[in-house]
Structure 1
Amino acid sequence: MTAAAPGSIPDPDSSLTDAELDTAYNVQRGVGDRLFGQLMARYRDESERAVAGLPGHAGLVHDERSGERLDVWGTDGGAPRPVFVFLHGGYWRALSRADSSFMARTLYDNGAATVVPDYTLAPHASLEEIVRQARAAVAWVHRHGRAHGLDPERIVVGGSSAGGHLTGMLMVDGWQRHFGLPEDVVKAAMPFSGLYDLRPMPRLYVNDWLHLDTERAAALSPLLLPATRHCPAVVTVAEHDGTGFLAQSRRFHARRPGAELRVVPGRNHYDVVLDLTDPASAVSTTLLELLHSV
């Protein structure tokens, strides 16, 4: 698959009015402020519960340039474990690694480890810099993971919402050589409710902190970037997600070699990823299958 020029793949959102575009992508409004607040609190509560007493290493610097840190959870001194690198959401300006380790105990109990990096939030960092930091976190796992109980040859990446976008940017070609990494450093991926085509962003309220123009938005869109390597992936989205996120997930799935699409029934944009707290859920089962197949 070759790189796409900004205009070579049609942007279905270009025909929408500003009000229609806001409806498609303003998922916080879609769930309401009360439920949104409850779910954000649950992210933190479930994360604290998951890592309580869990072996690991917290607060390790993964990127010397920015000083950003990550946490490693679920290693116990035995053989290096396959690792899930999870990139949090928050429309690139909110949340942190402290809200994002809720899957760590499920994975630990099933033979895998979890890495949750921080990245500098917008507008304090450009989106290009945020992408670089996400890639630096994967580079850290590959170079230093073995010393912390991680298998650098079994890295699976994932993330929710903005973290789904960052996951997509880890699935594309070319960035690996800039970090001295093998092209297949990412063995599989599971993005949740991601944004893969950022061309609508300059017309949305999120541009108050992203400050994107059309050209930069296209250059930061994984749907428009080359991905020639077969990378097993499960593109996951909620049944009751925003219509923009549903449509983008379907389009991204269609353009990614080795990808399958999973629409999770009964879930919304924010609670779909919390199914990873339940080892019996379909999304947990799928993630564990990915981790143990690479």
Structure 2
Amino acid sequence: MSEGTFSDQLDWRSLSDAAREREYSPSSCVGGDLQPFLTEYSEGSATSRSWCRHQGFELQTLSYGALDSQSVDVVTPGGAPAPLVVFIHGGYWQELSKLDSFGPAQGLLSRGVAYAAVDYTLAPSATLEEIIAECRQALAMIREAADDLGIDAQRIVVAGSSAGAHLTAMVSLDPTVSWRPAAMVLLSGIYELEPLVGTPMNNALDLDLETAHRSSPARLRITSPPSALVAWGADETDQFKRQSRLFAQSLQSAGAKTIEHEVAGRNHFDILTDLGREASELGAAVHRLIEST
């Protein structure tokens, strides 16, 4: 990486307040109407769940805590221990759930890959640091249950989109444990949170500078990073593109085998629909990453 901190290289401080809010509001690139994408998530998830049932795949719900939100839905192809993609949803840590996150399962199961969708308590009911802790607990639970689930614990790939990519990085690069996934897939993520402080996106999170810094993957001391696919849509804001490019460089500098991929014709929201589609450029890249584990 060039000289200067990750935050400096983002150059967000040169933006006016209005420009910063626009840059960190992904909906600004789609005319502000998110409903078509939310509907696609929900309908795609329902279709995928129905397909799983029709194919005879058993969908299990596992709890990693006492709250209803502290759960993971898992489906496996059966047979020999399978690689697993664990997906952590986005929604600026404030929206969506595992119920909107099952769309990729059908395509992955068709290739012999198990799939898990993580739920977590949303802000403001939980702080961001509590959300990070929940996701780490979820992954620990999945690892412990891998044998019983028919999952190859050495081939766990953690994936996330937007805020879910942030959480994926915080889980996969957790400095308090030695465990690392086989790989991670980071879609349209945010890795330095300081620019959010003082914006409407922070209202539910209530981050101050200290908590924003502690919760930023860009500020972790990265050790033994897993392989990574860092992708973003061509139709995203400049700041989101910079966040991804700079974090990919950080991972490479730390020794991770890292693939950067800008997806043509995709924005912050519809990039996710390619995750389980091997026929798409992104889906094919994800499949190659899984095969390499």
Do Structure 1 and Structure 2 share a fold, with TM-score over 0.5?
Answer: yes
**How far 1:154 moved relative to its partner?**
1.0
In the other structure, the counterpart of 2:267 is 268
State the SS of the aligned residue for 1:255. Answer: helix
State the SS of the aligned residue for 1:209. Answer: coil
**How far 1:8 moved relative to its partner?**
8.3
**How far 1:260 moved relative to its partner?**
2.0
CA distances 1:73-100 after superposition (whole Å, capped 9, x unpaired): 2332x11110001000000000000100
Aligned identity (percent) is 34
Rounded to whole Å, the distance in 2 between the matches of 1:52 and 1:66 is 22
Equivalent pairs counted in the alignment come to 282
1:216 partnered with 2:211: yes
In the other structure, the counterpart of 2:160 is 159
Rounded to whole Å, the distance in 2 between the matches of 1:7 and 1:194 is 18
The one-letter code matched in structure 2 to 1:42 is E
Q: Give the alignment's Cα RMSD to 1 decimal.
A: 2.0
CA distances 1:186-222 after superposition (whole Å, capped 9, x unpaired): 1100110000000111122111100000111011110
In the other structure, the counterpart of 1:62 is 64
- Residue 74 of structure 1 contacts residue 105 of structure 1 at CA under 8 Å; is this kept in 2? no
State the SS of the aligned residue for 2:192. Answer: coil
The one-letter code matched in structure 1 to 2:250 is R
Rounded to whole Å, the distance in 1 between the matches of 2:50 and 2:80 is 22
In the other structure, the counterpart of 2:126 is 125
Please say which of residues 283-292 and 249-258 is displaced more in the overlay: 283-292
- Residue 175 of structure 2 contacts residue 223 of structure 2 at CA under 8 Å; is this kept in 1? no
CA distances 1:214-269 after superposition (whole Å, capped 9, x unpaired): 11101111011111214110111000012211010011011003222110001000
1:111 partnered with 2:129: no
In the other structure, the counterpart of 1:197 is 192
The one-letter code matched in structure 2 to 1:38 is P
Query: Which ranges of structure 2 fall in alignment gaps of 5 or more residues?
Result: none
Query: Which ranges of structure 1 fall in alignment gaps of 5 or more residues?
Result: 177-182
CA distances 1:123-142 after superposition (whole Å, capped 9, x unpaired): 00000010011111111111
Please say which of residues 246-255 and 25-34 is displaced more in the overlay: 25-34
**How far 1:173 moved relative to its partner?**
4.3
- Residue 94 of structure 1 contacts residue 121 of structure 1 at CA under 8 Å; is this kept in 2? yes
The one-letter code matched in structure 2 to 1:28 is S
Runs of 4+ in 1 over 4 A off after TM superposition: 6-9, 64-67
Instruction: After TM superposition, list the pairs within 5 Å mapping 1:1-294 onto structure 2.
Output: 10=8, 12-34=11-33, 36-54=34-52, 55-64=57-66, 68-76=70-78, 78-176=79-177, 183-256=178-251, 257-294=256-293
- Residue 84 of structure 1 contacts residue 114 of structure 1 at CA under 8 Å; is this kept in 2? yes
C-alpha distance 240-151 of structure 1, shift in aligned 2 (>3 A): same
Rounded to whole Å, the distance in 2 between the matches of 1:234 and 1:147 is 28
The one-letter code matched in structure 1 to 2:113 is A
Q: TM-score, with normalisation over the residues of structure 2?
A: 0.91
State the SS of the aligned residue for 1:195. Answer: coil
**How far 1:278 moved relative to its partner?**
2.3
Rounded to whole Å, the distance in 2 between the matches of 1:85 and 1:239 is 25
